[in-house]
Structure 1
């Protein structure tokens, strides 16, 4: 009997940049000078520092170990549990702190967006949020920037809540004014009919006591067009891609109920965690159900650029000045909360990259 039967084809040239043998990473960003930053939210692993820079192949707490130690005397200047790091291409690393270790309610006063100066490696500015913006159910997930509008630019943050309304949080970086948009809208909410299947198995919450429930997570992936005019976003538990004009998001004279009619639907791109845009307006998105990476062209055409068994949950993407697409692969679906308390993750987690020949979208 011939055992060499046809098999699934894999493609896309991926290189290993860094292997992680400690805590599980979620975020990666590459600065305009090629510095690489990583974040490790506190989801149960032994997280010694929640933000790090890869220096000479080693993880170094960033901007300092002290900043990564929770200080209840100064929650605004210490990192609690960071979900996302984004270098803006203009000398600043932005740190998005959920202040919600283990998906708890955010510690009051702890949820924040922090600007770190990459020249001095010092915190330059901290934006905190009111209780109308960061709700008890909020989980701040990812952030994108546009410095072409307003006096100091705007930030757009996804609230990927698992038990409350999803939303896009809009932040005026001049004065820190923040407000929720598309709050609980279909486009920012989990798809109620979506059943995720990863590595051939249905993904759902499976608790130690044997009880189960559907896995539901709201708006997560976010990308901004190369000209700053369009924001792309997607719920984590959904295969759908949506977009909206950033001008509509900023315009508070448009009521939220009317804003939902301004959302555009791009079709199915696969189920994605992170997304990123290049300088030509192409959007890159993971497909965690199929161990793949998709490229979505400005005309809506979608193509798969990588399909590889090592892409075990593509989380966050970043495009470096070297024209490589970087992606964190972290086996998120193998965590114990999906397997009756048994952790099925295998070390190492990885930071991979592939050459795309495109530069990151500018933020100004």
Structure 2
């Protein structure tokens, strides 16, 4: 008979011990209960205020208007349960109408694409694609209220599709699906659409992730400002997309530059668990992310994005990284080949600031970032190059989106386990949302 052997795991803590033990003596008395070791305090910063609980669809975005209206999106590209099939009443953008309910926005009709499978074009059942309806919302990944109090909706055009055998895939987009839609919040009607051509939103590769705006009239000849968008593609076709909000033209920058690509074999730890990636996500609440086999490393690149308070610098970070980068926006606006060389040379690596998804800026120029591994929101100061914790709380598992409200609070959406939560904390040093001076 084999002998049963028991092993113990020993952990040596060297950060503190109370009471103090004389270094010149060794106390072998078996009185461990008399020692008190320091423990993780788990919380710091201002207390989290609960704003909203999501009991239905899985959200990733939050946007707050000047009057306090709040909007979220429910990405059909991350969860098949968020996909409208033409009759299930699922919506990909909603307005928060009570502390625990949402309704389709701007309308359920706009959230119900007219293709054969709703958000999915099943004309060729063996090769389904995302619906190409420019007038409908297909699979929205981000919602943002700009400094002029207008809601912008970023549609990937790439929903998930579940085959009869249970296999789930992220579909390629069709022209008309990938788009940026502007909604006038005074009339709740669409005033602008930017449709991305297939050379900008690559049908089987691009995943439009997040967007920020520079509305200064002097940045383009159209005078209407620009949008900057991260492509967080899981196939390595990462970059930054720029869109002229006056002409509707768009172009790609930093194509496959090291700063927009995922770090090789990147493995984050959330709530103490290693987080892996699966190509076929099935129906988990967390989409492609999993703590169970069969594991692979998270392959997503440029994701979080924020623009400086003066509009001169764009900050961004890959999802599969702990590093923060920035570039001058003046070089992103230029479309000549010489600018591309200057742009790659102008990328600034600000070092490790924590693994992050959502980012935002306040009126003092501070960059707020989720730190998913620390259950926290942190703040990076570009002037000093330092990072500090704004708030830390065990309830924060994965900060997907940050939004600055007019009342000086930072809204934070956390979505990995139901109910998904929307929290808020005050900004640092009495800061506010970047406002009218930014529009000049």
TM-score normalised by the chain length of structure 2: 0.76
User: What displacement does 1:132 show?
Assistant: 0.7
Q: Quote the Cα distance in structure 2 between the aligned partners of 1:257 and 1:132.
A: 20
| Counterpart among 83, 107, 112 of residue 64 in structure 1 | 107
Residues 292-338 of structure 1: CA distance to partner in whole angstroms, max 9, x if unpaired?
A: 1111113122101111110010110001001110011001xxxxxxx
Q: Distance in 2 between matches of 1:65 and 1:49?
A: 7
- Is residue 7 of structure 1 aligned with residue 39 of structure 2? yes
Cα distance in 1 for partners of 2:343, 2:431 equals 33
Where does structure 2 lack aligned partners over 5 or more consecutive residues? Answer: 1-31, 84-89, 116-130, 161-169, 283-291
Deviation sequence 1:231-284 (CA, Å, 0-9, x none): 000000100000001001011123534421111111111000010000110000
Contact 2:62 2:402 in 1 (8 A): yes
Q: For the pair shown, which has the larger CA radius of gyration, 1 or 2?
A: 2
Q: How far did 1:164 drift?
A: 3.0
The answer to whether the 8 A contact 2:175-2:197 is kept is no
Which residue of the partner structure matches residue 359 of structure 1?
432
The 8 Å contact of residues 239 and 260 in structure 2, kept in 1 or not, is answered as: yes
- Per the TM alignment, residue 105 of structure 1 is displaced from its structure 2 partner at its CA by 1.6
- Listed one character per residue, the Cα deviations across residues 15-71 of structure 1 (whole Å, up to 9, x for unaligned) are 110001111100001112211111100112245111111124331211111111112
Give TM-score scaled by structure 1 length.
Answer: 0.92
Q: How does 1:312-351 map to 2 (within 5 A)?
A: 312-331=397-416, 345=417, 347-351=418-422
User: Counterparts of 2:303 and 2:179 in 1: how far apart (Å)?
Assistant: 17
Q: CA deviation at 1:8?
A: 0.6
The separation in 1 between residues aligned to 2:273 and 2:340, in whole angstroms, is: 37
Structure 2 CA distance for aligned equivalents of residues 74 and 192 of structure 1: 34
Answering whether residue 106 of structure 2 is matched by residue 52 of structure 1, we say: no
* Cross-structure match for 2:151: 93
Q: Is the 8 A contact 1:273 1:315 kept in 2?
A: yes
Paired position in structure 1 for 2:200: 133
- Answering whether residue 133 of structure 2 is matched by residue 75 of structure 1, we say yes
**SS in structure 2 of the partner of residue 213 of structure 1:** coil
The higher relative CO (CA closer than 8 Å, separation ≥ 6) is in: 1
- Taking the aligned partners of 2:259 and 2:205, their CA distance within structure 1 comes to 18
Q: Which of residues 168, 171, 176 is equivalent to 2:240?
A: 168
Aligned in 2, Cα 1:284/1:269: closer, same or farther, shift over 3 Å? same
Note if contact 2:277-2:297 (Cα within 8 Å) is conserved in structure 1. Answer: yes
- Give the structure 2 partner of residue 269 of structure 1: 353
Larger deviation, residues 312-321 vs 96-105: 96-105
Write out per-residue CA displacement over residues 139-187 of structure 1, whole angstroms, 9 at most, x where no aligned residue.
0000000111221100000000011311100011111111100010001
SS in 2 for 1:289: helix
The gaps in structure 1 that reach 5 residues or longer are 332-344
Q: Secondary structure at the match of 2:331?
A: helix
Corresponding residue to 2:312 among 210, 219, 229: 229
**Quick check: 1:296–1:302 contact (8 Å CA) kept in 2?**
yes
The C-alpha deviation readout for 1:107-151, integer Å capped at 9, x for no partner, is 332100000011100011111011110012000000000111221
* Residue 27 (1) aligns with residue 61 (2): yes
2:396 and 2:237 map into 1 onto residues whose CA distance is 30
Distance 1:319 1:260 in 2: 30
Distance in 2 separating the partners of 1:5 and 1:75: 61
